[in-house]
Amino acid sequence: MIEILARTYEYLQQGGWIMIPLATASVVLWTMMLERISFLRSLRNNDVTVEEAIALVRSRREHQVEGEGLRARVLRNFLARRSGFPRLDIDILRECVMRERKGLGKFLAMIGALVAVAPLMGLLGTVLGMIETFQVISLFGTGNANAMANGISIALITTEAGLLVAVPGLVLSGMLFQQATRLETRLEEDSVILTRVIRRPSCSSSDRRRFGGACDGERPEVGGRPVGAYQEGQAA
């Protein structure tokens, strides 16, 4: 471990002072990307279904919504604040949806900026290294390879470091943007469905064919037993 740290320090030292902001940008970038990967994954997993969401909104009984999925988070906030008046409940639902939508885009703009800046900082190091190399050549000529080595190492190492930060960051940031877009689309679809449920307490025939017993606030059943990611707040 100590040997790895020593080699890393030597590598950073050879790249010059430009490696300090480049390393800082790399640490910040990967910290935010790992946080986003974990957060977006938690929103996709352990979530309630659309049928369960409809049953919860239609039911007037108190329920405990379990899970940390996107739909579960919206439902938990909405059910804790709903008033029982359709127009007011629709506004409450929209506010809950807007709050979750803001969380989806957190750090993504900064991640994209750091991915774009990293190769530019590497290019800056390349320019600084070449300037130092030409200064050495102007003083000692091209016969002194040792004198030119420092400038060349700065030029090459900073370029390499900038690409090492930018290339995987570009791939992962694209994946994060795609996942956030999909979750935002699903959030909008859920908002439309639940708004329709709040506005129309009774079910239409098409709703009954699509959602079955959940349309009337019943808990979905499989094999005669109720299923779902929620439990009633009070035991029977």
C-alpha distances out from residue 148 to 13, 128, 236, Å: 16, 13, 83
| pLDDT per position as a tens digit, 182-196 | 999 999 999 999 999
| Average pLDDT score over residue span 111-122 | 93
Long-range contacts (CB closer than 8 Å, 24 or more residues apart) made by 209-216? 211/50, 211/51, 211/54, 212/51, 213/55, 214/51, 214/52, 214/54, 214/55, 214/58, 215/54, 215/58, 216/58
State the pLDDT confidence band at 232, using cuts at 50, 70 and 90: very low
| Average pLDDT score over residue span 225-230 | 40
DSSP state string for 67-119: --SHHHHHHHHHHHH--S-HHHHHHHHHHHHHHHHHHHTTTHHHHHHHHHHHH
How far apart, in whole angstroms, are the C-alpha atoms of residue 107 and residue 112? Answer: 9
How far apart, in whole angstroms, are the C-alpha atoms of residue 14 and residue 153? Answer: 6
For residue 61, the model assigns a pLDDT of: 63
Q: Which is more confidently placed, 61 or 116?
A: 116
How far apart, in whole angstroms, are the C-alpha atoms of residue 118 and residue 64? Answer: 46
Q: Is the pLDDT of residue 221 over 60?
A: no
| pLDDT per position as a tens digit, 8-19 | 777 777 888 888
